[in-house]
Structure 1
Amino acid sequence: MSTDTITHLEAQSALLEEWVETRRQIAMLEARSADLLAQRARLMDADVVAQPVHRDAIERSMIAEFSAAGRIATGSVSQAFADARFLDQDFPALRDTFRAGRVTAAHVREIVRAAAPVRAAIRDGVIEESMLVAFETAALAFAETEAPARTRAHVREVAAAIAGLSLTERNKAAGAERTVTVRSVGDGLALLQAVLPEHLAIGILDRLTRLARVQKHNTDDRAPMLPVDDDAWEAEAAEVWDGGVIFGSGGTFTSDPFEEDLDAYWEHVDRMLAAGPKVIQIPSDERTTDQIRADLLTDLLLGADPSEVQGPGLSNVTATIQVTVNATTLAGLDDHPAQLDGHGELHPDIARALAGRNTGWTRLFLDPTGMVTETDTYTPTAGMRRFLQARDQHCRFPGCRMPVHRCEADHTLDHALGGSTSLDNLAHLCKTHHALKHPSIPDQHRWTARQLPDWTLRWTSPTGRTHVDRPPRRVMFVPSGPEPIAHPPQPGADIDWTTPADAHAPF
């Protein structure tokens, strides 16, 4: 083996060792992060003891502050607190192993959550408390040498065995976890995920596959697009009927019944009969099986009525999306991308198709920076509501993505304290984050919010830390315009937030 080869292998080995060590250090930092969450949870418990009636508000406030500071979804922070609390209280050996970096955060998450039936059995008096230690020992022995995915399957089996759960009971418990989620993957596509009982999921895929095969191979079900060559047809007609032709509207014509010389016409008919019918080949479906399955799934879910088992009431439930599109794009004058609010770009053809099926479109006026300034409605209450929905798009707490149609327009400065019902004092908040600033919450746990003239919300947490949430813009790139700013602000300079007097339309 040459010296260069040995050196190359040594470099590869060194990089691998460094990577493994880096991963271990990351695990140690993750363990430290969990310790910090557990310590904060203990402080929350002390606050709850002092003010038990405000337990929910105290916990929501704590989670909201960590969510905003870490720019993490509220649900993820809430689950992280729960995992950290269980790790701190119930799993000392797992905690020490985690701190040493011998297992990752993913391993810890699978072990802690799989222990739920064991803890439940202990709480119900079915098994002894010492069985939780047995579960922890068995889980650690496996996790230190296996990947998190394998650990998950193993610890669930161990937990079921210790808790005495049968396969039927485990399936029943797992059935409660069924869910449907959607996540954007870019370029106008999204990942639709469904967690279902396994037999149903396999059955759905099998049916889609069978339908896709029928669609792909049975061309008889598709109507052919016959080729039409108007120029060739007219030329042939002129050649055959050089005279005695009566032309009608829309390119139609017929022979003159009073024309004596029809020999050319009948000769043409004889030639057509002798040639026989022309075979038209219908091209096969060029889509892949996966593409056909995806199209069939979309068609079945969006076009089919709910079954009688689900109840007729489901047929009255409709989906709500909000789309923003330029008027010039809607008129077909250009093909600028539309915006599917809260998600990203939308193909202009799709936006135009949606517009053709909907009568609830609202015209929006944008300033040169792409900010919504007014709508063209004159009804005060409805107009302001539509304006705020178009402006906010989602909950205005930092990091929250709750869609605007599931939020409420809240007075930033409480109405009871003199806050006006105006665009500059209204913003959409979901129920969870609206409750954070409710006057009934004690001062040491209540958040406050202030709305700046550009509609930015400046939140202040109970600990005094500030977080800002700016309204989302409607365009990614904005035109320079005929009237550029003469003196743009320098970095670090104070900005004049004064709103022009004509920035808002009358309602």
Structure 2
Amino acid sequence: MTTPAETPGSDAFLASLAEVVHGVEGVGRDLAAAQIAEIRWLAAAGALAERAASGSPARVREQDMLLRSVAAELAGVMGFADRTIQRRIDEARTIVDDYPTALEAWADGRIIRGHVMAIVDAGSILPPELRGAFADAAITRCERDIPSRVRGELEILAQHMHPRSFAERHEEAAAGRCVRVIPGRDGMSDLIATMPTALVEGAYDRLTRMARAVVDTRDQRAAAGLTFGLGDAQVADSAGAATAGEGESRAEAVSTDARTTDQVRADILADLLLAGTPALDDTRDTSAGPLGKIRARIQVVIPAHALAGDDHDACDLVGRSPIDAATARQLAAGNTQWERLVTHPVTGAVLAVDSYRVPEKMRRYLQARDQHCRFPGCRQAAVRCEVDHNVDHALGGKTHICNLCHLCQRHHSMKQFTCWRVRQLKGGVLEWTSPLGRIYREDAPTPAVAFTPAAASPTEAAPF
């Protein structure tokens, strides 16, 4: 319980917070040492089983039986199922044998367990003989950012190092696209679609923007007497508590809607699949209404050589995962709602930026520079973030790239209403200061693009 002296920002509160943070840091170091030791012992258990079976004529079967026996012995000590322990032994051997430098970097405190697992996951597509070189290149990036931020970049790096082209592997994977139903409980089930990443991300973005439009305009629509429904006869929240027939007040129907964004998103998906149009759309009976006009929007970085037809490397779906170059080219060429950004394959310098929506040049620049929310650890793509004045405009902060960055709604609000502070240094580097006075450096993302100064003519106006 907080004592009267421990009000936010007080010395007592900060002292208590500092004690908690120090304790967590110490436990983290001890836990890392224990996890590393466990991985080494589990890998030793797997190596023991392999060595013991090395002279057996039926080596593969004998090794498997020995490994099962060893895993069962360890399971009794560790309190897990023997199958779980055997999987952990296999994982430990992969880390120790294929990624020794990553394990050493973890032991030295340069990276954490999440980094190691991100390296292992991304490197799993590579032949064993390439994994060591991949780990060496990946560690440098991991030292500068948290695991969730580097995962996408490590995937791109692994794709680049793979001896087979990404396009070839994507074509094979796309053959497995499917839709599955997994029955759940209480009359619910999961509908799972396995499709190319760009399509999935675009679909999710459109559903999200539709849902937010519904949630954000409830008051206006209720005041205007507008309605929505599941079909022509009813309106329902997730529990089915609110229904509205033809004779019920439209304003009342809207005002009783208490669904969350997730619930609205699910309802819109059902409407689109079953009826072809969002039942939530106020003008669905006459033409494509406000929701129907919303189009998917994602952020893709396309290297110049990929745009020119090279299919070996993947393109970067910012904030998510790689996509194949053919899909990126198709999207860049055929959809006027996509913002296209072309980069040099070696220097990363921007070659061209265009958009049919004609966003402001400064926003395009910042989206390409920031890529995602610039609060430490956040991966929300820049296209779904807000542009923040590091020094508030009301306090004299200029609308200039050296005073602007992208923050998601959560971290934008936190900067406004808590004691977290930020200042921008040269090169787009952010320096965040916590309520305890701790400094967290937020480097500009490793550029999928890079910006180089151009010599402007004396008559050329400033770009922004």
* TM-score where L is the length of structure 1: 0.37
Structure 1 or 2, whichever has the larger Rg, is 1
* TM-score where L is the length of structure 2: 0.40
